Structure 1
């Protein structure tokens, strides 16, 4: 599908890259924090719908960036191959013992041919696309973070202007806790990185997150509703509202 955002800047030697970090629900557990409200089949469906919405959103920016799908445990998967064919994205495998290592490896590999490189989670259906486009076009920052409302972040990226060890950025970060953003910002300060923060957005991790989205659904315009089309069409979601 053609991206809606046009190229407004002079292309640098390295083109930007946007990366969706995803798991294969057929080979690893997903959305376990929804276990109280949904069975495994429903959780897998919710996860897949959110991933599809994320890829749909990111491909709106394909005119100004290369879009990747980083796959866990690896890209050798019918699940990921089908998504790559549908959305026209490039597949890469995640490598590392934990999330921080996998993101650091991804950043170090892609920064060799792209600048900047931004990694996105797949739990945030309403990504601020205008602000993301502005951030990758200006590239005036060493580090870009998109803050989530639970203390984590839905996006992390490096401009590539400053040479650092990407693993240092995530050293000591307590993943899946409310201190993820603060831990990363402390590391960024220690590395003397100029940091830009994208507008906050809500991850969908728990039943209360779903309820919050549904409670505000009437206030969303048609464009925002369309950006989480797959999620809203998942069986059992709208019935909660």
Structure 2
């Protein structure tokens, strides 16, 4: 029997000045970092829609709760997504809370800090989850940008030093100690700091040169913001 296609959960925080992408403030204004955060979310949701998962879910954090956020209610309507609140607690607790209602049929949770990730690589993680109980897609900073679960929740969301460079390694160690099989999704880079923005801009410039005439950008909303900020030239 073919297993059902997993749900895709976009895990994100409402873009608000002085609260969004704060490690970029200084290199960019608070308004610019909020605009970039908004673009990251929109590009992640556009990929989710293009892949046609069984369900699209926005697991959101917003002042007053996701359900009261005009920003997230509008995005949910536009993308045909369900909207749930992340709730309180550690990053691990919030991710587990978002995954658990959907994990019986499989659910892949993705962050929004990998805007240039090709949709095909995200789709590879979705496909891997149809054959595996756990899927982890590592990011180059030592964490991971996607985690998928099918069935009971694995013991990987507690006792992890979130934000450290050992998140991915600690997660794999927990899985192996528990004897749980897993699959790895494609590795990609996060955009958290100014050097990451420079890497993203260089990547997008190179991709634009090699893109076929009818090719599309992996992150059109992000490209638009970077051009508006002068980080990307308009005549690429």
How does the TM-score come out when normalised to structure 2?
Answer: 0.86
Question: What is the aligned partner in structure 1 of residue 96 from structure 2?
Answer: 104
In structure 2, what is the Cα distance between the partners aligned to 1:42 and 1:27?
8
User: SS of 1:91's equivalent?
Assistant: strand
Query: 8 Å contact 1:170–1:187 — kept in the other structure?
Result: no
Unaligned runs of 5+ in 1: 1-9
Given the alignment, which residue of 133, 149, 154 partners 2:140? 149
User: SS of 2:11's equivalent?
Assistant: strand
Given the alignment, which residue of 60, 71, 74 partners 1:79? 71
Kindly indicate whether residue 170 of structure 2 is the aligned counterpart of residue 180 of structure 1.
no
Query: 8 Å contact 1:124–1:154 — kept in the other structure?
Result: yes
Deviations 1:171-225 (A, max 9, x none): 2211112111111111111222211111111111111111112223233125875
Query: 8 Å contact 2:5–2:126 — kept in the other structure?
Result: no
Deviations 1:49-106 (A, max 9, x none): 11101100111112x4211110114322001011112222111111231110001111
Given the alignment, which residue of 18, 27, 35 partners 1:45? 35
Q: CA RMSD in A?
A: 2.3
After alignment, is 37-46 or 132-141 more displaced? Answer: 132-141
Given the alignment, which residue of 198, 216, 227 partners 2:185? 198
In structure 2, what is the Cα distance between the partners aligned to 1:134 and 1:38?
34
User: SS of 1:107's equivalent?
Assistant: helix
Unaligned runs of 5+ in 2: none
Matched residue pairs, number?
A: 223
In structure 2, what is the Cα distance between the partners aligned to 1:68 and 1:59?
11
In structure 2, what is the Cα distance between the partners aligned to 1:107 and 1:88?
18
Kindly indicate whether residue 115 of structure 2 is the aligned counterpart of residue 125 of structure 1.
yes
In structure 2, what is the Cα distance between the partners aligned to 1:122 and 1:82?
18
Question: What is the aligned partner in structure 1 of residue 194 from structure 2?
Answer: 207
Please identify which structure carries the higher strand content: 1
Report the CA distance shift for 1:135/1:44 in structure 2 as closer, same or farther (over 3 A): closer
Deviation at 1:26, TM superposition (A): 3.4
Query: 8 Å contact 1:57–1:127 — kept in the other structure?
Result: no
